[in-house]
Structure 1
């Protein structure tokens, strides 16, 4: 199988992993590319060298700019999608080579300059065994978990509530209350509120706030100023948006999208 495609079957991964346990794959993902639900027999450290990736698992949904990577434990089913044009690097790690890493759920880590350089270095196939082993050991030591919470936005099934959810997905800044949405969707505000709670597990206000955070992340990754992002997703000010982002995601927008990080277009966020 090619390292430039995602046809990395289980047998291939086991056979191709070096004796020291890490294989780096490189995947070009044009806009709209999606790798359907799959799992690996080994751990995966997934990151973007360009663009933004969206990873979905039963544990949540993560958007990854180039400054962030996601550790996906072996056998965890996941879907990987590109947000616009993206380039993905996947470091596949044999469980026996990292006994000190026991993360049972997907974990976000910081892509430091050293970590990115090590991933790029391990793409090479001409490294001597000793040099590869040393680089792999440093890579594993460089993994630094971040206190980031995934922002999952489940969609309601009922067609009336679904119509409201899809409209807000197209325009997250739309601040109309449920009473106004009800006239458009053909249901009372009380009915819509009940449907959102029953079918998503979230009150409508909570659901809309999570949606706004998801919609904001690709904008933040491009380097758009915080004030502009806030207005595009429905917040009156950068400070109110930043407070909501920190409350839901666990870190500030600046911490999640470091200014001037790899792959960003500017340092304004």
Structure 2
């Protein structure tokens, strides 16, 4: 996706917003301060060397200082960003992380990144509340680890291009030059999950994008490889923590 599709932006030293067109992607960048991002509408993906995190409307993503990252918008996306001073950044992980967004965390982040002018004392107080809320929420990652082995990368490309592909691992291995046993070991050793767990996550992440674009549950289920909506709903809820219907309703309320 071309990087040239630049967003409308409002940025302050401590926070701001980007209104991204669907498919917009930032250039690779890093910052001297760590930052939190939230999709007030649409869906974001945040790519770092640790993998790709999906940031729908019920998640907040953290990228520490110095980590090279890229943001990509899926659907028209209102991305809010809040930079944390070093004194507060020490209280959150020293690696990219994704947190469940409580109602309070969401409202505080939107206030910090919104048009309202805040004095330094008010801003510092709200930043501390936001970090406290993230501590209470704990981490709820929606992250797809990035394969390093070339054989895993080849399998990943096939599934990224067509998440609904039901080809067994042995047949995928034949196409990419590795045995099913070798690929199974690599998925376990590199990514900490089975091939089928990883494929389910790929499908759920694609479903997040399609739901944000307004497609109904049945159509999304079939497009992402489920033969019936009930299986899709169970898998989606297990990964995201809410049903596709409730997630889609959250997206509609945010827009």
TM-score by length of structure 2 reads 0.72
Shifted more, 146-155 versus 85-94: the winner is 146-155
1:54 aligns with 2:41: no
The answer (yes or no) to whether the contact 2:226–2:232 under 8 Å persists in 1 is: yes
In 2 relative to 1, CA 241–129 (structure 1 residues): closer, same or farther, beyond 3 Å? Answer: same
The answer (yes or no) to whether the contact 1:242–1:252 under 8 Å persists in 2 is: no
Which residue in the other structure is 1:69 paired with?
60
Q: Tell me, what secondary structure is at the counterpart of 1:38?
A: coil
1:107 aligns with 2:97: yes
Which residue in the other structure is 1:13 paired with?
none
Which residue in the other structure is 2:228 paired with?
237
Counterpart CA distance in 2 for 1:126 and 1:5 is: 16
Which residue in the other structure is 1:265 paired with?
252
Counterpart CA distance in 1 for 2:63 and 2:176 is: 42
The answer (yes or no) to whether the contact 2:217–2:244 under 8 Å persists in 1 is: no
Partner residue of 1:145 out of 133, 138, 141: 138
Counterpart CA distance in 1 for 2:54 and 2:252 is: 17
1:252 aligns with 2:241: yes
1:28 aligns with 2:15: no
The answer (yes or no) to whether the contact 2:50–2:146 under 8 Å persists in 1 is: no
Which residue in the other structure is 2:4 paired with?
none
Higher normalized helix content (fraction of residues): 2
Counterpart CA distance in 2 for 1:178 and 1:142 is: 41
TM-score by length of structure 1 reads 0.69
Q: Is there any run of 5+ residues in structure 1 with no aligned partner, and where?
A: 9-15, 18-22
Q: Is there any run of 5+ residues in structure 2 with no aligned partner, and where?
A: 1-6
The answer (yes or no) to whether the contact 1:151–1:213 under 8 Å persists in 2 is: no
The answer (yes or no) to whether the contact 1:230–1:237 under 8 Å persists in 2 is: yes
In 2 relative to 1, CA 256–131 (structure 1 residues): closer, same or farther, beyond 3 Å? Answer: farther
Q: Calculate the aligned-residue CA RMSD, in Å.
A: 3.8
In 2 relative to 1, CA 220–91 (structure 1 residues): closer, same or farther, beyond 3 Å? Answer: same
Counterpart CA distance in 2 for 1:165 and 1:243 is: 23
Which residue in the other structure is 1:120 paired with?
110
In 2 relative to 1, CA 182–119 (structure 1 residues): closer, same or farther, beyond 3 Å? Answer: closer
